Structure 1
């Protein structure tokens, strides 16, 4: 007798996740998928979008994710797009953050990067990418930039700056900057209204998560500084 097979989906998910400090949103969908078996998927590259289609998708509230390195994203990106580089834990954080079922367009990087992203996404149950636009976004869009500084530059921040720490709770408890606001990355979208007014200087442990957070904040209309590099107590 396997008790898992007798649980309804909601109960199964709740019991699976009991006691976890934080878990990616896609976990709640993977259990039932694993029980019934994943559908067959195609890893054929998605169709290429043009600039007007990307803008329409952004206006419709869909997710447009830039696969390039966070430094390239800061230098210039499509307004409203999100920075989740293929060079890091791409699928983990995208799966953690994206509202389940939201259409996804991948931009930046190469066609090989898009293919690699698709392979990672399939493993977490996201088996369809709506569209792609590989290559340099500057070739087809007017880009906006994002201020990026090294971690040591936090020491020179204005006195009225808001310092936002998006690390996990255990990381924060092990040491954090005095006066910083703590909102773990996976909670950020739901807690944007808790961030005080002012320019937000956002950091994590290494710079990858803070780039994601900075892009989420910029999309929400906040003025933001991406603090890159390894965390140290200043």
Structure 2
């Protein structure tokens, strides 16, 4: 994992101060790339809070839609304060420390996505993500301030970087993962998997692939297996 390959993504941030503080925290821990999706802020005000991290703020990439992030990243990690469970698979999440351990050997470009201060990430935006992360906190008030949440996760990634191991494999690309997921969909169709369960199965498989950060060879092997299944069924 290289910190310069990680993009901090804020979806429709609402408070200028938070964006400035996020830029400052990014500089504290050695992160350079900030992407803002349809920001609702005053950049002049945000720059006051950024202090010496103004260059990060001024060089931020502005996008009008989250899906355009695919042009920059290979993996996308969403964040939520709402814990998932067996009946809410979309929000099944790992901790920041588990995330740091999972991606320490990854060499691709990673988007770390944070939602709005008011409502966080919407379900459709979480579906865009490969993994979901949540910060354990008191049940009395589990929702952290945006900049505080960013700081905690970046700290864990920064700490993990010191124990990074050499990369021994090539991670699967975004295109390879999309093809793999498409094969999985085709298999579900071919075996007449109940339509009301398909989305659940797809989310489970996508999260498994996301958490494992499979290699390109592993992705091709799985695609080969799915192709044989489809041929056998046709």
Do both share a fold (TM > 0.5)? Answer: no
Per chain length, whose mean CA-contact separation is higher, i.e. which structure has more relative contact order (CA < 8 Å, sep 6+)? 2
Structure number having the greater helix percentage: 2
**TM-score normalized with structure 1 length:** 0.31
